[in-house]
Each structure stands twice: as structure tokens, then as C-alpha cells.
Structure 1
């Protein structure tokens, strides 16, 4: 094939792809329900908030980088310990707080009816926590979600985020003589998000 013809084909192919791409900023936020796996604990209700850029590559596919502030943890975690002063076994119930700055890269597939399927990796950078003994400073995770997008740019979202790293030392939260409060020692973040997002329309 003539090099000039090949160049023209490649040029117009790239031009066509570029013409389909649109970049739109947006904001998201909502309620967060989180816990730490393999521990006897209650879900912690809090919030998340963030911003994103929707890079629409095809009619149904978008790549969406995000920056989110996510408040996570677990409530009513029981720590069974021996009190030296009273020489008795005691139980204290703690609320664990772990706050992250989450950097996510979501793949979004939007059907003509407005239904979206979302999936992607996330890097959670630790901002602060009240853990007695921490294992992983930061966390890696996977996010899966479904959403319903309105033509106005308003979207209703539900996401499930599963951490992959062991985030705390569970030995601190149980007594060797009583493992009732502990299922295992691989304790990962579990986070459910229910909220809304809004994509700003740009020309």
C-alpha cells in the first residue's frame, strides 16, 4: 500500500476517534457503609465526597479518573483484654475510624436506557486513623458499581469497594483465651457507597 494512502487512512482514523472523545468534569458524594472483614463488628455509617473527569471515548464507554475522600472503619469492635490493675478480664467496645484519599480509575459502560455498569481499581492513601496497631499504611482495592444516569447529568450510584490488603493487627482486638470476637486475621476494608453524582455539560 502506498505510504501516502496509509498516512491518509491513519490520519482520518485518529481524527474520527478524537472527534468522538469528550471530557466533562463532575462531582460525587453520598453515604458510606463500611466494616472490616473477619471481625465481629457493626457497619460504620459515614460519608464520601469527591470529583471526577468523565472521558467519553465511545458512545457507551467512558474512562473516569476520580479523587474521593472516604470515611471508613468499623463500629462496636470488641476488644477482650486482661486489666492488670483490677486483675480481671474486661471487654471494651471501640469504633475504628480510617479515613482515605482514594484515587480511582473507573471504567463506565452506559446503555441507551441510562443504566451504567462501573468497575475499576482504587488506591486508598491513608489520611488518619485511630487503629492501635496498623499493618498496611495504604490500601489497594477493586470497585464494582451500577448506576442510573439521567440526561441532565445527574446519576444515582451504588458501589461496592473491597480492599485487598490486611489493614490492622487483629491480635490487639482479642484475648488469646477467647476468640469469640474474631473470625480471622486477614482483615480488609469492605465499603458500600450509595449516592449521587453530577456531570457538568461542556461544549
Structure 2
């Protein structure tokens, strides 16, 4: 078989396969509670919210690829900073709520089992849209997302996700506290985020 005939057969095969495949696209929204902190410190979780939109591309009965755009309010509360007052040269400690709000682009793999149970995972690229840090190392983050969900026939789903950043986002030399071990900082401070919420897919079948 020459190249032209082989190419024709391959193109015909994939064209027929594409017309037979049950591929559909469903837009949706997601919203919920965000619980976050920054690693290698002893501080309180920041409780806030996330909201976003997605497009669910169902490639098979049990697998979907889901691009997402999410806004997530992250950070950490009651973080101690040890510093010297430049006017009095007196060493002081202050407690701050660190805010890191991100716009995230995610690509989530969704595997569905049984009557609607899902395993979800994929990478995310995060961009800071607001923060109150005096010094930070980067305006971006690279994260990995994993989680579980239960989706009902109506298109409503209940989700639980864990999102872990990989980039050092905090200048620990600025925020470090050398004499209070309850608030000791490490040198590699990454985002840690839990998400508990709901999503809804429009036109769900």
C-alpha cells in the first residue's frame, strides 16, 4: 500500500471514529469554601472563598478533561513577624494576616465511577491578583490539584479538593521570627489550599 492510500485509510478511520464518538462540551460554575495556609510556619488557616468557571469535555463515558479558570483567596492568618523598629531600635513582634489572592488556570482530569463518584487531578498555573506581602519572591505559582467529587444526574456536584503549590512564595528573611519557636519559619514556604464546595454543569445528561 503506497503512502497516499495509507493516508486516505488513516484519515477515513479517524473521521469515522470522530463521528461515532460521544464527545460533548458542558460549561459550568464552581464555588465554595477555601481553607489555606503557607507551609513551614505555625499559623492559622485563612478561611475565605473560591469561585470559578469551567468547560467539561467528555471524551468517554468515564473520562472528561476540564479546563478551569478560578479565583481563590489564599494566605495564612496570625503570622508573627519579629522586627526592629527603625526609629527606636527596639525589637518588636507583630501578628499579620497574609493575603494571597490568585487567578488560576487549571487542567483537570476527571474519572467517573459508579453512579457519579469522581476522582479529579491535574496541574494549575496561578497568578497573584492581590496580596498584602511586604516582600514576596514570585507573582506566580505552579500547583497540583487532586480531589474527590460526587455528581448527581441534575449536574450538581459536591467537591473536595487539595491544592499544593511548588514555588517559594514568601521572603522568609523578612518575616522570620528567630526567638519564638511557635512561629518559626522555614526557607521554603509554599501554598497549601483545601477547597470544599459545589459545582454545576449546564445541559447535563
TM > 0.5: yes
Check if 1:136 corresponds to 2:138. yes
The residue that corresponds to 2:126 in the other structure is: 124
Aligned with residue 22 of structure 1, among 13, 21, 24: 24
Once residues 180 and 6 of structure 2 are traced to their aligned partners in structure 1, the CA distance between those partners, rounded to angstroms, is 77
Aligned with residue 75 of structure 2, among 45, 53, 73: 73
Provide structure 1 residue ranges, at least 5 long, that are not aligned to the other structure. Answer: none
The residue that corresponds to 1:113 in the other structure is: 115
Aligned with residue 155 of structure 1, among 157, 160, 163: 157
Change (3 A) 1:149 1:202: closer
Provide structure 2 residue ranges, at least 5 long, that are not aligned to the other structure. Answer: none
Once residues 66 and 154 of structure 1 are traced to their aligned partners in structure 2, the CA distance between those partners, rounded to angstroms, is 17
* Equivalences for residues 43-192 of structure 1 within 5 A: 43-176=45-178, 180-192=182-194
Q: Deviations over 1:118-155 (max 9, x none)?
A: 00000001101001110011000000010000000000
| Cα drift, residue 93 of structure 1 | 0.5
TM-score (norm 2): 0.90
Asked if structure 1 preserves the Cα contact closer than 8 Å seen for 2:80 and 2:177, the reply is: no
SS at structure 1 position matched to 2:183: coil
Once residues 127 and 89 of structure 2 are traced to their aligned partners in structure 1, the CA distance between those partners, rounded to angstroms, is 40
Change (3 A) 1:202 1:115: closer
Once residues 5 and 123 of structure 1 are traced to their aligned partners in structure 2, the CA distance between those partners, rounded to angstroms, is 41
| Cα drift, residue 61 of structure 1 | 0.4
Aligned residues: 203
| Cα drift, residue 8 of structure 1 | 5.1
Q: Deviations over 1:104-126 (max 9, x none)?
A: 00000011321000000000011
RMSD: 2.1
Asked if structure 1 preserves the Cα contact closer than 8 Å seen for 2:63 and 2:109, the reply is: yes
Once residues 185 and 96 of structure 2 are traced to their aligned partners in structure 1, the CA distance between those partners, rounded to angstroms, is 17
Q: Deviations over 1:4-61 (max 9, x none)?
A: 6874575244433443110010000100000000011110000000000000000100
Check if 1:193 corresponds to 2:186. no
